[in-house]
Amino acid sequence: MQAPAHVKRVAGAAYDDVPTTNPQTPPSRSVREVLGPRRPTGWVLLKLEALGPDRGVLHAPDCDDAREGAPVLELEPLLKGFDRGFDPDS
């Protein structure tokens, strides 16, 4: 295995224990087996009416504090909308 030309050795670093060949057998466990299932994507808005009409907290959809049955929103459009002052419930 040859390193790309732009890769340089670090002065004083020992490379004796760094593998330089591709392992012959694949890992015994997949990423999903190790990390578990993916979390749902998106965000759920929890309004904090007691602090004012424009206050809220974003939660992951599977968060215990997320409102049951609330619509799942994508982050980028949500943040852009808040920046423009819109209400995502309207």
Strand ranges inside the chain, DSSP E: 44-47, 56-59
> Is 8 part of any domain?
no
CA distance 35 to 52: 39
pLDDT at res. 55: 77
Domain span including residue 73 = 37-84
pLDDT tens-digit series, residues 8-39: 888 998 888 887 777 777 777 777 788 888 88
pLDDT at res. 49: 75
Q: CA separation (Å) from 68 to 20, 53, 55, 71?
A: 51, 20, 19, 9
| CA proximity to 43, closest of 75, 82, 85 | 75
pTM, 2 dp: 0.46
> Is 44 part of any domain?
yes
Please state the domain count of the chain: 1
Average of pLDDT values for 60-69? 89
> Is 77 part of any domain?
yes
pLDDT at res. 85: 65
> Is 13 part of any domain?
no
Question: How many Cα atoms sit within 13 Å of 56 on the Cβ side?
Answer: 19
> Is 23 part of any domain?
no
